[in-house]
Every structure is written in structure tokens, then in C-alpha cells.
Amino acid sequence: MSDKPLILYHYPLSPFSEKMRAMLGYAGIPWCSVQVREMPPRPLLQRLAGGYRKIPVAQIGADVFCDTRCIATEIARRARRPRLALEHCSAAEQAFVARTDLEVFLACTLSANTLAMGQRVLQSMSLPDLARFAWDRAQMGWKAAGSGAAPLNRRPRQLVREHLADLAQRLERQPFLFGRQPSHADFAAFHGLWFLHVLARSALLKEQPRVLEWLERLRGFGHGSLEPMSEADALAWAAGQRPRRLAAGSAAAPEVGRPAAIEPADYAQERSTGRLVAATATRWVLAREEEGLGRLHVHFPRQGYRLLQGEELEDA
């Protein structure tokens, strides 16, 4: 294990966690696995990421990475596979990911209401936890609707079928969606279909055998070399480290150095607060001081998030 392992906070049924687990398997880098609850409260993880509630979260020393975009960039850097980072992909790939991670993923989850999916959920949670989970996700849905999240323009299964047909066409002459090797786009398309086919056991993918072969190709990478770790041990790593040096020029923006909060733009849930210490074309970094842990740097992608400062922060 390296001096600063990549630690992933996740839970087994999380599709976006599976996106990162599969990417780690392909990248071939070792990582530490911290399994967390399917829903808040997650008090130990909250000490690292502040109010951020989504899963997965990654940690390297005293740096905390929120959202799969940031996590994928760290995997790409460690594995020296730049196209795993969305910012290193083509404009066509980035447009594909933007649609797939939102509209198509939602259609996949709405199409996964099967008996097999229900059985998996019941096996993974107690009945009280299941009730809390359903209530938690219902609240997320209401808040998403109130935040202006775009609704599906077509029925979910129809949209999934159109998506599968598009993937099959892309895979006619190449093993992956945009070439001979996987890119971020492959893993963005993978996790929704994994949820639909592997967990929910939907028959939709059987209509497109070429896509099913591609899915199994990605699953064949496995999850790589992982070592279980407790949340307490992960926090101990943070307490013994300092955040890494910020990227050159990232502290030059006028908003840097001021108090700030960052929250998801898709639904107005809990936010993380601190002092903005870096701003690049693709990322914001908040500095937080946490008792017993010291200084932490929490990284967020710009895409899909809002930065609040000044009057916006005071009024929030």
C-alpha cells in the first residue's frame, strides 16, 4: 500500500459506487474500501465532507473528493490513464456523459422496479432501515422536482431502449463506446445498466446482445485489489496528514479566500461550508477545519454544483 491510499466510501447497491469500483478494477490500482450506510446520518463521513450527503466519496490523506467526476480524475492520475478523467475526453464524450449520467440514468432506475430488485433491497436492509431509505429517497425526489431538475420527456423504458440502440451502433466496429480502450464515457453508461441488468435482472439488455457483451467486458475487470478499512481508521489517516499542494494558479480567482458553501445543483440538500482556497476551470476546493482532524481540503466539480458566497451565503 502507498503512503496515501485511495479510500472509497461506498455501499454495495449504489450504482455510482459501482461506476467507481469498476473503474478502479480497470485502472488496476489498489484501494481501501469503507462501507457506509445507504443513507444519512453518516456522522464519521460527515466530519470529512461536511454536509455533503451523496455516495461515493473518496479520500486521499487529508483531501476529500466529492462526486464521481472528481474521484475519476484521481483514479486517472494514479493509473496514468487520462481518458478516465472526464475533462480529458472529447467534446462528444463529454456531451454523451452529461446526458447519460442524468436523463438516461434516471430512466434506468425507473425501469428497475422488478421483483429481483425488491428482493435485493430487502436482503440488504432491515425493515426499519428500508422505511427510512424510502422516505429519504422520496424527500430527495421532491426536492429535485422543486429545484428545476429536468423531467423525462419520454417513458423510461422507451428511453432506455433508444439508449441501448445507440450503444449497439457505437459498438459495431470497436470494443468500447469511443474507441479501442475504455474512457470515462464507458463507465458513465455502465453503472445505470449494471443497476438495471445485474441487480434488477431486467430483460431489456437481452434485446441488444452487443451491448450485453460490452457490459460483461467491463464487469470482467472486476473491482481490483481492495483492502477493507473501518471509518475510524480512515479518519485516522486524515488526522495524520496535511492536504496536498494546490494546483498552480488555482488560488488566483477573485472568489478564492472568502467563506463559501457548495451544494448540488440538482437538488438543494445539505451543503458543505468552509473557505474557498482553489478554483479551476473544472473544480472548486473548500478548506475546512475539523476538530481532531485538522485542516481538510474538500474537492467538488463545478459541473452540477453551486458555489454560494457573500449575500447568497448569508441568506441561505
Domains of the chain by range and CATH? Answer: 7-82+226-315 (3.40.30.110), 89-219 (1.20.1050.10)
Q: Is residue 132's pLDDT more than 60?
A: no
Question: CA nearest 29: which of 69, 89, 80?
Answer: 80
pLDDT, residue 136, reads 43
Q: What is the mean pLDDT of residues 167-185?
A: 98
Beta strands in 206-304 (DSSP E): 226-228, 259-264, 272-279, 283-290, 294-301
In whole angstroms, give the CA distance from residue 176 to residue 157: 23
In whole angstroms, give the CA distance from residue 308 to residue 278: 14
55 close to 16: Cβ distance less than 8 angstroms: yes
pLDDT > 70: percent of the chain: 88
**pTM for the whole thing?**
0.91
Of 119 and 74, the one with more pLDDT: 74
pLDDT > 90: percent of the chain: 77
Q: What is the mean pLDDT of residues 275-284?
A: 96
C-alpha cell at 310: 457573500
C-alpha cell at 242: 496535511
Q: Is residue 140's pLDDT more than 60?
A: no
Q: What is the mean pLDDT of residues 19-38?
A: 96
Would you call 110 exposed, middle or buried from its count of C-beta atoms within 10 A (0-12, 13-18, 19+)?
middle
Q: What is the mean pLDDT of residues 232-256?
A: 93
Of 220 and 128, the one with more pLDDT: 220
Q: What is the mean pLDDT of residues 285-304?
A: 96
pLDDT, residue 154, reads 66
Of 1 and 56, the one with more pLDDT: 56
Q: Is residue 1's pLDDT more than 60?
A: no
Where residue 192 falls among pLDDT bands split at 50, 70, 90? very high
pLDDT, residue 147, reads 43
Where residue 219 falls among pLDDT bands split at 50, 70, 90? very high
DSSP reduced 3-state for 36: coil
Give buried/exposed letters for 276-306 (b at 16+ CB in 10 A, else e).
bbbbbeebbbbbbebeebeebbbbbbbbebb
Question: CA nearest 143: which of 53, 37, 16, 240?
Answer: 53
Q: Is residue 151's pLDDT more than 60?
A: no
Report the mean per-residue pLDDT for the chain. 89
Q: What is the mean pLDDT of residues 33-49?
A: 93
Q: Is residue 270's pLDDT more than 90?
A: no
Q: Are strands 305-308 and 259-264 parallel, antiparallel or unpaired?
A: antiparallel
How confident is the model over 3-16, as pLDDT tens digits? 689 999 999 999 99
Q: What is the mean pLDDT of residues 140-145?
A: 44
Question: CA nearest 111: which of 205, 17, 190?
Answer: 205
Whole-angstrom CA distances from 243 to 74, 80, 83, 240 are 14, 21, 25, 10
